[in-house]
Amino acid sequence: MILLLILLPVLAGVISFFIRPGWMLRSILLATAGFHALLTGGTWLRQPASVLEEWLFLDAPGRLFLSITSLLFLVTSVYALGYLMREDWGQRQDFEEGMLFTNARESVFVCCLLIFLGMMTLVTVSQHFGLLWVAVEATTLVSAPLIYFHRHVRSLEATWKYIMICSVGIALALLGNFFLAVAATTATGHDHVPLLVNSLVNGAANLSRPWLKAAFIFMLVGYGTKMGLAPLHTWLPDAHSESPSVISALLSGALLNCAFLAILRINQVCIAAGLAEYGKTLLLGFGLFSMLVAASFIVKQLDFKRLLAYSSVEHMGILSLAVGLGGDGVYAAMLHAINHSLTKAMLFLVAGNILAVYHSKSTTDIRGISSILPINGVLWIVGFLAITGSPPFGLFVSELLVLKAALDQGHVAIAMAYLGLLGIVFIGMAAIFCRMVQGYPAELPTFDTSQLVPNRTVATASRFFHESPLSVLPPIVLGMLVTLLGLFIPSPLQQTLIRAAATVSGQ
């Protein structure tokens, strides 16, 4: 079952590389996404057996992150259907510099997208640190062509930074792996505990502590680069703003979580070895610093996709902070990971719709979304309220739990800093989002605005624009899920969250 989960998307990806007709590619994409989601749903009913001498095993945190990935992939692939059908595959003008560019082939796009899903699945089920590393690096490599889908100079620059920074970062994580192997080696030097999460946790007392500390630092920095923790986040805003919105949604919602899972695994080993305090300090530091950096770039941000990317940095900071706090914070982190993924994916998909009509990413030029795209306007505001942690959405609950964890542990200063930064982000985003939604649009490249007479009602203006169901239904579904999670957490999910939190905090 686990093997099927990994091999299905990879095989489908390889097959789709050789297929040309667009409709076939799109049906392969949708069918694979659907099957993958069904199989993932199946793992909730029946625990799949472990494969390859327990190298691949779906534990509670793995299942949680796999479910997020699979669900997001299904929703975004529905959106991608509409996106790929709308795309013009010939040469066209770039709307920022006016240069001509083309897209990569549709088959390459679908192929990389499906293998990307396969590799993210591999990350979530890997119990072996070496295999985990291989899978995380593979996600970088297959997602690079996705970022360079629109073949113009800016996306090329983003791709180069993405590959270089992430590869160098992840190379450091490989060094961390070797340090871990040294830490796990018995004194005779000819045999070491296999680098499986479970055997390391069970044999944690025998691990060499200085080497384990070194391993933790290198893995935190390595996977932290991929996760987007400041100051290692520099690739993230570029990659998220230049890739197609479908890809941004997956990068933010699914990929960053996968890197987070890798950090959770090594943290789990550290806690078992009695180095909990040591890991806590580092995680808290990285977490608060990420929030600070993100907050300072969100205020007055000029590009709304970069804004969303910095918001991802902020939320990765919250996740790191929450795990660093320990106790109830770990549970909050698990819940927050789900909420953030759903909300951020929803926002990126809406951002794609806005971009398609306005042909601009400027937060200062875009006005009047609600007058010409009423559904997207509502979604944009709902997404903004959700991502900044307003009630009744899921992020409110998880952010409140993080605050509670900080106060429970007596970290009053951290709680104050956390609240202050959340407040700055809220104000910064409110100013930008409200201005974009309200008012009246100036000229639009896709539409002759003289037909829109000011003071006409919203209903008449919106008649000129068609919001296709494929482009608005996916974000609506995501938005409803986030709202639902804020009001009520279903009991199987609750069980898994508790078990996942217990696992990663070493109980």
Return the number of the residue (159 or 370) whose C-beta is nearest other proteins.
Answer: 159
DSSP string, 268-330: HHHHHTT-HHHHHHHHHHHHHHHHHHHHHHHTT-SBHHHHHHHHHHHHHHHHHHHHHH-THHH
Binding to other proteins, residues 267-326 (CB under 8 A): 297, 301-303, 306
In the shown chain, the binding pattern of residues 168 to 187 toward other proteins, with x for contact by CB under 8 A and - for none, equals x--x--xx--x--xx--xxx
In the shown chain, the binding pattern of residues 95 to 134 toward other proteins, with x for contact by CB under 8 A and - for none, equals ---------------------------------x-xx-xx
Return the number of the residue (181 or 276) whose C-beta is nearest other proteins.
Answer: 181
Return the number of the residue (85 or 153) whose C-beta is nearest other proteins.
Answer: 153
**Residue among 223, 312, 218 at smallest CA distance from 263:** 223
Quick check: 159 binds other proteins (CB under 8 A)?
yes
Q: Can you tell me the distance from the alpha carbon of 34 to that of 99, in angstroms, rounded to the nearest whole number?
A: 38
Return the number of the residue (128 or 344) whose C-beta is nearest other proteins.
Answer: 128
Rg of the chain (C-alpha set): 22
**Residue among 261, 10, 1 at smallest CA distance from 123:** 261
Q: Can you tell me the distance from the alpha carbon of 164 to that of 214, in angstroms, rounded to the nearest whole number?
A: 23
In this chain, which stretch among 160-168, 386-394, 467-475, 496-504 interacts with other proteins, using CB under 8 A? Answer: 160-168
Return the number of the residue (151 or 359) whose C-beta is nearest other proteins.
Answer: 151
| Contact with other proteins (CB under 8 A) among 48, 224, 228, 237 | 237
Return the number of the residue (247 or 461) whose C-beta is nearest other proteins.
Answer: 247
Quick check: 198 binds other proteins (CB under 8 A)?
no
Return the number of the residue (310 or 426) whose C-beta is nearest other proteins.
Answer: 310
| Contact with other proteins (CB under 8 A) among 163, 232, 266, 319 | 163
Binding to other proteins, residues 54-83 (CB under 8 A): none
Distances 428 to 140, 212, 252, 363, 433 between C-alpha atoms, Å: 31, 40, 20, 12, 9
Q: Is the dihedral of CA 493, 471, 351, 148 positive or negative?
A: positive
User: Is residue 441 classed as helix, strand or coil in its secondary structure?
Assistant: coil
Quick check: 241 binds other proteins (CB under 8 A)?
yes
DSSP string, 59-122: -HHHHHHHHHHHHHHHHHHHHHHHHHHH---S-EE-TTT--EEEEPPHHHHHHHHHHHHHHHHH
Footprint of other proteins on this chain (CB under 8 A)? Answer: 128, 130-131, 133-134, 137-138, 140-141, 144-145, 148, 151-154, 156-161, 163-164, 167-168, 171, 174-175, 178, 181-182, 185-192, 194, 208, 210-211, 214, 237-238, 241-242, 297, 301-303, 306
